[in-house]
């Protein structure tokens, strides 16, 4: 019998020619790179396919790393309904690659399939697979040849590579992206896409990689230059929002993100970023809904999974949040926010030994961040190790000296007590910031620490309440952090926590009643 382009893999029917995967007649959402990855595994039967082979046959001519392959396998498993811990279709082979759990079998066309026009050749299915292999092996040659013969615009090539590096989420690659965007602008100073990309990369320097805040001004300048010529450029509005966000200007950032979404409802990146700011404002149900309501491929939105876990955590869905935090920490070792979120989650649950172990593991991954060192200091205080806390807070200050909180903590817990004049100056500075519309709700807690150190106990309690009124929603932190221990026994502090709890409880009920709530919440009362 003549072979076909149809395969059986357990209960899956896979049509390579039409790129369709069905189970019991139901079409599964396996498309694009997910399907190409599956087709590659099918070509190798049940043999182990190493990372180099997968990268060459699925991604060429693009250059990717093993982490990209791992993430794509995770997405394919999700589309197939597979469980990486107890796989049915695709298993991991530690340190080597992946393989199908069973050898695929040739199959006849599914009854539900529409007729496929067949070429009269001895082995049309082999010709199709050979064509895929030839494309993979020859892709890099074609790409270079196309540039040389003018079939591909060199500026567009630079843009593609810049976007690729910017999307990886690592400091060195962000710098590569900046260099490439700058090369494009040398060729064409009016290239709006390059200016938008450069703006975002400058902001990432501040938000992700501990550069001075001055880079947010550079980022704003690039975005505003585009908006001056193209007022309805949604990408430029999103870039401007990101710059404002990294500068700590929440209200301005949110207005720009919402403008970007209004101009382009399919901008999932802006939607996820706006969701984060909704979360910071205490609009937790709205934030969760926005993160679940992606219009494209959710996997392309970096840090979305961490945000969803955080929103579930704040809403009191602890088990659902923990599963997501743990999985993200395990699967994405280079994800800065995953490395922060998991130790913090353990800390907030009072699991201090586990939090310390996860924290040290995160720091060993070479993803330093102020939040990690602040958490290290708080854990030291809980052990009664004030010297250890002082060292941790000083590390945070050295990492980002332009940031307010590390300087405040390093000074409050320094070898000598801060001078009254320094405390007064700090208080006045922060109050001016809030009056000017800058800052986040959680920043009021820093003000409370300084006021308490100055002996202004009532003012400190008022600042905690101001944080809650502005939307601060982390009840567990208020109840756990040793930094706030001097305020915790005051009835006014308990009243602020009660206000927060009532607001969160109302939003929790709203989520449980919504038809868009996550699947793992649907059985909860």
Q: pLDDT tens digits, residue range 85-97?
A: 888 899 998 878 9
pLDDT digits (tens, 9 = 90+) for 166-192: 877 778 889 999 999 999 999 899 999
Tell me, yes or no, whether 524 lies in a domain.
Answer: yes
Spatial contact of 169 and 334, defined as CB atoms under 8 Å apart: yes
Q: Which helix (H) or strand (E) holds 20?
A: strand 20-23
Tell me, yes or no, whether 90 lies in a domain.
Answer: yes
pLDDT surpassing 70 at residue 84: yes
- Return the top range by mean pLDDT from 40-49, 236-245, 394-403: 236-245
Q: Worst-scoring range by mean pLDDT, 1-5, 8-12, 292-296?
A: 1-5
* Residue 27 structural domain: 6-145
pLDDT digits (tens, 9 = 90+) for 385-426: 999 999 999 999 998 888 899 999 999 999 999 999 999 999
Spatial contact of 453 and 418, defined as CB atoms under 8 Å apart: yes
CATH for 26: 1.10.10.10
Tell me, yes or no, whether 408 lies in a domain.
Answer: no
Of the candidates 100, 130, 145, which is a domain's last residue? 145
Tell me, yes or no, whether 481 lies in a domain.
Answer: yes
Q: In what order do the strands lie in the sheet with 97-100?
A: 49-50, 97-100, 90-93
Tell me, yes or no, whether 75 lies in a domain.
Answer: yes
Q: Tally the domains of the chain.
A: 2
Pick the closest to residue 162 from 130, 200, 125 (CA basis): 200
Of the candidates 111, 145, 179, which is a domain's last residue? 145
Of the candidates 108, 130, 145, which is a domain's last residue? 145
pLDDT surpassing 50 at residue 133: no
pLDDT surpassing 70 at residue 120: no
Tallying the residues shown for the chain, one arrives at 525
**pTM to 2 decimals?**
0.66
Give the mean pLDDT of 52-56: 85
Tokens linked to 373: 């060192």
pLDDT digits (tens, 9 = 90+) for 329-338: 998 887 888 9
Q: 298-315 burial by CB neighbour count: b if 16+ within 10 A, else e?
A: bbebbbbbbbbbbbbbbb
Average pLDDT across the chain, whole number: 86
Query: How many other CB atoms are found less than 10 A from the CB of residue 253?
Result: 23
Query: How many other CB atoms are found less than 10 A from the CB of residue 488?
Result: 15
Pick the closest to residue 67 from 301, 341, 333, 339 (CA basis): 333
pLDDT digits (tens, 9 = 90+) for 351-362: 999 999 999 999
- 323 Cβ neighbours under 8 A, 6+ residues apart: 520
Give the mean pLDDT of 4-13: 82
Residues forming a β-bridge with 106: 7
- 341 Cβ neighbours under 8 A, 6+ residues apart: 306, 309, 310, 325, 328, 329
The predicted pLDDT at position 25 comes to 77
Tell me, yes or no, whether 299 lies in a domain.
Answer: no
């Amino acid at each position: 019998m003549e072979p076909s382009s149809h395969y059986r893999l357990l209960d899956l029917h896979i049509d390579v020619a039409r790129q369709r995967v069905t189970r019991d007649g139901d079409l599964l959402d396996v498309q694009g790179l997910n399907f190409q990855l599956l087709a590659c595994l099918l070509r190798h039967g049940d043999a182990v396919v190493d990372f180099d082979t997968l990268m060459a046959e699925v991604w060429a001519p693009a250059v990717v790393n093993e982490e990209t392959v791992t993430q794509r396998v995770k997405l394919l498993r999700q589309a197939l309904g597979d469980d990486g811990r107890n796989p049915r279709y695709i298993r991991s082979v530690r340190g080597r690659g992946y393989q199908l759990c069973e050898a695929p079998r040739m199959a006849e066309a599914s009854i539900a399939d529409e007729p496929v026009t067949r070429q009269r050749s001895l082995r049309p299915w082999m010709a199709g697979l050979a064509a895929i292999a030839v494309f993979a092996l020859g892709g890099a040659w074609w790409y270079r040849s196309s540039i040389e013969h003018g079939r591909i615009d060199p500026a567009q090539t630079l843009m593609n590579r810049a976007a690729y590096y910017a999307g990886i989420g690592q400091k060195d690659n962000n710098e590569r992206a900046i260099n490439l965007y700058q090369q494009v602008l040398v060729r064409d100073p009016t290239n709006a896409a390059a200016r938008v990309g450069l703006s975002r990369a400058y902001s990432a320097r501040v938000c992700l990689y501990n550069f001075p805040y001055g880079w947010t001004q550079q980022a704003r300048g690039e975005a505003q230059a585009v908006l001056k010529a193209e007022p309805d450029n949604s990408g430029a509005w999103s870039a401007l929002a990101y710059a404002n966000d990294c500068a700590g200007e929440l209200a301005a950032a949110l207005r720009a993100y919402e403008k970007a979404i209004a101009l382009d409802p399919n901008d999932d990146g802006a939607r996820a970023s706006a969701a984060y700011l909704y979360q910071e404002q205490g609009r937790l149900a709205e934030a969760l809904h926005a993160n679940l309501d992606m219009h494209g491929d959710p996997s392309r939105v970096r840090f979305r999974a961490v945000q969803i876990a955080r929103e579930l955590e704040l809403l009191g869905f602890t088990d659902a949040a923990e599963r997501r935090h743990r999985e993200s920490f395990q699967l994405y070792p280079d994800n800065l926010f995953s490395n922060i979120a998991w130790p913090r989650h353990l800390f907030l649950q009072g699991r201090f030994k586990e939090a310390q172990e996860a924290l040290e593991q995160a720091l060993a991954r070479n993803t330093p961040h102020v939040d990690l060192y602040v958490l290290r200091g708080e854990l030291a205080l809980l052990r009664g190790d004030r010297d250890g806390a002082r060292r941790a807070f000083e590390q945070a200050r050295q990492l980002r000296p332009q940031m307010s909180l590390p300087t405040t903590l390093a000074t409050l817990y320094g070898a000598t007590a801060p001078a009254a004049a320094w405390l007064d100056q700090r208080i006045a500075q922060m109050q001016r910031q809030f009056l000017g519309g800058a800052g986040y709700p959680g920043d009021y807690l820093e003000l409370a620490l300084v006021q308490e150190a100055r002996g202004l106990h009532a003012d400190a309690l008022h600042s905690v309440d101001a944080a809650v009124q502005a939307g601060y929603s982390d009840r567990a932190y208020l109840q756990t952090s040793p930094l706030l221990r001097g305020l915790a026994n005051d009835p006014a502090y308990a009243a602020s926590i009660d206000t927060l709890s009532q607001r969160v409880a109302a939003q929790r009920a709203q989520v449980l009643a919504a038809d868009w709530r996550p699947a793992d919440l649907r059985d909860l009362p």
